[in-house]
């Protein structure tokens, strides 16, 4: 019973099954129209025609539904399969009743017969959704590939211009018809265009924004000679792709702007680093070592071009005798705090250099060092300290000399008075001899006082301009005799004139003292060299001198004697300092040289080491061409016997005041005495007769002799002035401040000299003694 029911239901069930399939089941003849003898209900959905309209080509032949472009290929495939007695599978396109193109897939076989009488059966189904999905997938892949290319271009190390040109050329690859489109990128005032781009109404565009601001536009147009209808050119997905690419271009432009800003900042920073006037070195920590990895131009200049060869070497290797610098770097890294060290480094054939080295840690492993050459500053500081010390000693020496000159004035004057008295009384010869010894001792003391004044630069000088080379030639014979036959004197003079301005005889003192000093430091067979040269202010020879800018003359006195250590060099210009045995030197020779040089506006530098001899270099400002030497001052002869005029004497020292009063009264002058300026002004107000001459000490309590002379001269027109002082330099300055009639007498002096000078002043004009 079940079998009969199954047999009865089988045809109905089979037809229902075939009608339910997603496609069309057919049986047809193998003629030109593929006349259908059976077709399932799926034909309606597939073709838009009912089965009865397709059977026996009643209304429409199935063959006519096939796209003409594909029909020939379908016929050839079917004929080939029938001839071979094989099944066939193929894919082609049909146009349904509504005019829609569909992609169909067909599977068929030969059922029976052959040739045009053959019967075929098979199955046809719509695969359009699948093909559209495949097409969309391919297009999406193309878009992704294009976006990837754009992104990869943005990541390459190329310029923005190069990247945008490449993007403009590659954009068409993401479209359905790549050969039929062209792209153009406008970014600011720059254009990046595909070769075949031409403005066309058929186009797509997307704005380009950089940092949130509109910066340009991306356009894709149909080429001018395209055969593709404009309606089929661009898809919505392609427009979305274009917006994505425009966003990538904006990001690329922003990235390029940031990169260029960073590069510009790096270039600026590097340029600042290179142009930094301070030598800068960069060290990298590698284990316990610090290796030089970079330097700037200032470091190149400071090292005289050697620093490039040091790159890659450790600090301990470069300066093995300076472990404290490595320790300082380790402390800097450990504490991450800046440090500063001052080091002195020896250099071949030149004096050692002093550097201030600053350390700074730069995480994670760099140490930045600034190196400043402070050799000149430290030398100037030392010279300034020496100058301060010498200035203090000079002031002390000047003060001692001033007071000592007052005493010597009294001693020498009274000695002269006694000598005249003894000579008049025809006293015993022993008394005369005793007075002679007193006078000689006083004169030696006066000479020593003069040396103190020379050291303190308070000695009176009348500078002259002369050629230093001529002076050395003039003194050469005398200097050779000072050295003796056991030592050789070599003179090397500059070819050009060496004009200097200095007091007459002072160069003689300088050379004599230096040559004697060299003689005492050398053994028999030794050599002394005197040389002159001209240099410019920026020459290395004078780099550490505290002299005003301008050309200079340098005189060098060098010996190959025993030399000096640092402790001795630090004190050689101090007065009374000597390394000679007692009784063989006063210790004033180099002190006088120092005072003369400084008074002339020059500087003196000594270079000496034990066993290597000593070199003195004396620098003077180079003056004009040498002037003709002036003749000495000839004092006018005394015109008449002294006496008769009124003299106002102002002197704070009572012994000197009593001496001058006695001497002048004995010469017949009327003398008014005062101890200070106030008393002198009071005498002027009460005067009953004209004051012809004012004799005043330059150094006074509460005021100066120059100021007093000005005030009294206002009340006594035509009055002459004579200054007394142990400080000759200040006396001449004061005389210049008053008027041309002021004169000067240096202490110590004798009564005879004073009387003669007073007479000459009253008779004629200014005089100096």
Strands (E) in 374-509, as ranges, are: 464-467, 488-492, 499-502
Q: What does the pLDDT average to over 301-322?
A: 89
Q: What does the pLDDT average to over 59-67?
A: 85
Residue 154 confidence (pLDDT):
57
The residues with which 112 forms a beta bridge, in sequence order, are: 119
Residue 633 confidence (pLDDT):
39
Residue 639 confidence (pLDDT):
47
pLDDT class of 127 with cuts at 50, 70, 90: very high
Q: Which CATH number fits domain 133-258: 3.40.50.1100, 3.40.50.720, 3.30.450.40, 1.10.10.60?
A: 3.30.450.40
Cα(476)–Cα(343) distance, integer angstroms: 44
316 or 437: which leads in pLDDT: 316
Q: What does the pLDDT average to over 459-480?
A: 79
SS3 label, residue 232: helix
Fold observed for domain 276-373:
Beta-Lactamase (3.30.450)
Residue 427 confidence (pLDDT):
59
Residue 273 confidence (pLDDT):
84
pLDDT above 60: residue 359: yes
Tell me the three-class secondary structure of 239-305, residue by residue: HHHHHHHHHHHHHHHHHHHHHHHHHHHHHHHHHHHHHCCCEEEEEEEECCEEEEEEECHHHHHHCCC
pLDDT class of 281 with cuts at 50, 70, 90: very high
pLDDT digits (tens, 9 = 90+) for 330-345: 999 999 889 999 888 8
Q: What does the pLDDT average to over 216-224?
A: 78
From residue 635, alpha-carbon distances to 411, 503, 725, 753 in Å are 26, 20, 21, 12
Among 4-8, 220-224, 739-743, name the one with the lowest average pLDDT: 4-8
Which DSSP category does 447 fall into? H
Residue 185 confidence (pLDDT):
84
194-208, 406-420, 504-518, 728-742: which has the highest mean pLDDT?
Answer: 504-518
Superfamily of domain 646-763: Response regulator (3.40.50.2300)
pLDDT digits (tens, 9 = 90+) for 520-559: 888 888 899 999 998 876 554 544 566 777 888 999 999 9
pLDDT above 80: residue 104: yes
pLDDT class of 229 with cuts at 50, 70, 90: low
Any idea how long the chain is? 769
- Tell me the percentage of the chain whose pLDDT exceeds 90: 13
pLDDT above 70: residue 461: no
Cis peptide, bond prior to residue 748, ω within 30 of zero:
yes
286 or 587: which leads in pLDDT: 286
pLDDT class of 122 with cuts at 50, 70, 90: very high
Cβ atoms of residues 307 and 261 within 8 Å: no
Residue 746 confidence (pLDDT):
77
Q: Which CATH number fits domain 464-621: 3.30.565.10, 3.30.1300.10, 3.40.50.300, 3.40.50.150?
A: 3.30.565.10
Fold observed for domain 17-126:
Beta-Lactamase (3.30.450)
Q: What does the pLDDT average to over 100-109?
A: 92
Residue 266 CB contacts under 8 Å (≥ 6 apart), including other chains: none
pLDDT class of 632 with cuts at 50, 70, 90: very low
pLDDT above 70: residue 51: yes
pLDDT digits (tens, 9 = 90+) for 598-625: 888 888 888 888 888 999 999 988 886 6
Among 444-448, 661-665, 691-695, 753-757, name the one with the lowest average pLDDT: 444-448
Among 208-212, 568-572, 574-578, name the one with the lowest average pLDDT: 574-578
Domain boundaries, the chain: 17-126, 133-258, 276-373, 464-621, 646-763
352 or 173: which leads in pLDDT: 352
pLDDT class of 477 with cuts at 50, 70, 90: confident
pLDDT class of 309 with cuts at 50, 70, 90: very high
Neighbours of 588 (CB within 10 A): 21
SS3 label, residue 721: strand
Residue 620's nearest CA partner among 517, 480, 499, 703 is 499
Q: What does the pLDDT average to over 687-693?
A: 81
Residue 634 confidence (pLDDT):
40
pLDDT class of 103 with cuts at 50, 70, 90: very high
Residue 630 confidence (pLDDT):
42
Domains 17-126 and 646-763 share a fold: no
Q: Dihedral of CA 186/190/196/199: which sign?
A: positive
The runs of H, that is alpha helices, within 24-176 are 43-47, 51-54, 62-65, 68-84, 128-155, 160-170
Tell me the three-class secondary structure of 40-68, residue by residue: CCCHHHHHCCCHHHHECCCCCCHHHHECH
Query: Mean pLDDT of all residues in the chain?
Result: 79
Give the tokens for residue 25.
């089941």
Cβ atoms of residues 342 and 357 within 8 Å: yes
Residue 93 confidence (pLDDT):
92
Cα(603)–Cα(586) distance, integer angstroms: 23
SS3 label, residue 105: strand
pLDDT class of 635 with cuts at 50, 70, 90: very low
pLDDT digits (tens, 9 = 90+) for 179-190: 777 788 888 888
Residue 510 confidence (pLDDT):
87
pLDDT above 50: residue 740: no
61-70, 375-384, 714-723: which has the highest mean pLDDT?
Answer: 61-70
pLDDT class of 1 with cuts at 50, 70, 90: very low
Among 348-362, 459-473, 655-669, 750-764, name the one with the lowest average pLDDT: 459-473
Residue 510's nearest CA partner among 563, 465, 472 is 472
Phi, psi at residue 129, to the nearest 5°? Answer: -55, -40
Among 156-160, 204-208, 600-604, 756-760, name the one with the lowest average pLDDT: 156-160
Among 353-357, 401-405, 679-683, 718-722, name the one with the lowest average pLDDT: 401-405
Degrees, nearest 5: CA angle 29-32-33: 70
Residue 235 confidence (pLDDT):
67
């Amino acid at each position: 019973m079940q079998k009969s029911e199954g047999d009865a239901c089988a045809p109905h069930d089979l037809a229902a099954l075939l009608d339910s399939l997603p496609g069309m089941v057919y049986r047809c003849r193998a003629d030109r129209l593929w006349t259908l003898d059976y077709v399932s209900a799926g034909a309606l959905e597939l073709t838009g025609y009912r089965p009865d309209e397709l059977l026996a080509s009643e209304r429409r032949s199935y063959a006519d539904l096939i796209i003409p472009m594909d029909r020939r290929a379908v016929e050839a495939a079917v004929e080939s399969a029938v001839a071979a007695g094989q099944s066939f599978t193929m894919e082609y396109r049909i146009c349904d009743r509504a005019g829609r193109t569909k992609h169909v897939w067909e599977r068929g076989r030969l059922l029976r017969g052959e040739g045009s009488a053959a019967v075929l059966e098979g199955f046809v189904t719509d695969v359009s959704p699948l093909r559209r999905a495949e097409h969309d997938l391919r297009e999406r892949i193309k878009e992704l590939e294009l976006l990837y290319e754009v992104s990869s271009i943005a990541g390459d190390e190329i310029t923005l211009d190069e990247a945008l040109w490449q993007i403009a050329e590659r954009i068409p690859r993401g479209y359905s018809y790549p050969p039929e489109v062209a792209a153009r990128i406008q970014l600011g005032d720059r254009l990046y265009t595909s070769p075949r781009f031409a403005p066309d109404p058929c186009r797509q565009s997307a704005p380009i924004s950089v940092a949130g601001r509109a910066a340009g536009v991306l356009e894709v147009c149909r080429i001018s000679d395209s055969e593709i209808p404009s309606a089929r050119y661009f898809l919505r997905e392609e427009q979305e792709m274009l917006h994505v690419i425009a966003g990538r271009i904006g990001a690329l432009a922003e990235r390029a702007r940031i990169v260029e800003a960073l590069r510009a900042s790096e270039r600026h920073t590097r340029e600042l680093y290179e142009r930094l006037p301070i030598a800068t070195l960069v060290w990298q920590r590698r284990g316990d070592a610090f290796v030089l990895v970079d330097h700037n131009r200032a470091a190149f200049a400071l090292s005289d071009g050697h620093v490039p060869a040091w790159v890659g070497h450790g600090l301990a290797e470069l300066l093995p005798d300076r472990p404290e610098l490595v320790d300082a770097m380790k402390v800097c890294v450990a504490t991450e705090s800046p440090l500063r060290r001052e080091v002195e480094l020896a250099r071949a054939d030149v004096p050692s250099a002093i550097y201030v080295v600053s350390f700074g840690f730069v995480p994670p492993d760099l140490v930045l060092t600034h190196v400043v050459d402070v050799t000149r500053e430290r030398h100037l500081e030392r010279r300034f300290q020496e100058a301060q010390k010498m200035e203090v000693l000079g002031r002390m020496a000047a003060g001692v000399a001033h007071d000592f000159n007052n005493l010597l004035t009294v001693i020498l004057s009274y000695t002269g008075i006694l000598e005249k008295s003894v000579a008049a009384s025809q006293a015993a010869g022993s008394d005369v001899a005793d007075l002679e010894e007193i006078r000689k001792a006083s004169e030696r003391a006066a000479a020593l006082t003069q040396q103190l004044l020379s050291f303190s630069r308070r000695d009176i000088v009348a500078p002259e301009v002369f050629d230093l080379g001529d002076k050395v030639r003039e003194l050469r014979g005398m200097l050779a005799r000072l050295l003796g036959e056991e030592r050789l004197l070599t003179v090397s003079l500059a070819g050009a004139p060496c004009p200097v301005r200095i007091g007459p005889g002072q160069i003689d003192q300088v050379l004599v003292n230096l040559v004697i000093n060299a003689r005492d430091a050398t053994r028999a067979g030794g050599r002394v060299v005197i040389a002159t040269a001209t240099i410019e202010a920026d020459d290395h020879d004078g780099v550490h001198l505290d002299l005003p800018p301008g050309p200079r003359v340098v005189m060098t006195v060098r010996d190959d004697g025993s030399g000096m250590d640092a402790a001795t060099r630090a004190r050689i210009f101090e007065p009374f300092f000597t390394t000679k045995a007692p009784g063989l030197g006063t210790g004033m020779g180099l002190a006088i040289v120092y005072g003369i040089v400084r008074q002339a506006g020059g500087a003196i530098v000594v270079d000496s080491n034990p066993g290597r001899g000593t070199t003195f270099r004396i620098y003077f400002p180079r003056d004009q061409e040498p002037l003709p030497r002036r003749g000495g001052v000839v004092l006018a002869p005394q015109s008449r016997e002294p006496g008769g005029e009124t003299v106002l004497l102002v002197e704070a020292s009572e012994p000197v005041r009593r001496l001058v009063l006695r001497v002048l009264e004995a010469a017949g002058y009327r003398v008014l005495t005062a101890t200070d300026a106030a008393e002198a002004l009071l005498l002027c107000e009460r005067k009953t007769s004209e004051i012809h001459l004012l004799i005043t000490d330059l150094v006074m309590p509460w005021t100066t002799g120059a100021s007093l002379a000005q005030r009294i001269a206002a009340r006594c027109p035509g009055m002459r002035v004579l200054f007394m002082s142990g400080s000759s330099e200040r006396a001449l300055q004061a005389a210049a401040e008053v008027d041309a009639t002021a004169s000067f007498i240096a202490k110590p002096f004798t009564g005879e000299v004073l009387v003669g000078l007073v007479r000459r002043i009253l008779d004629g004009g200014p005089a100096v003694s």
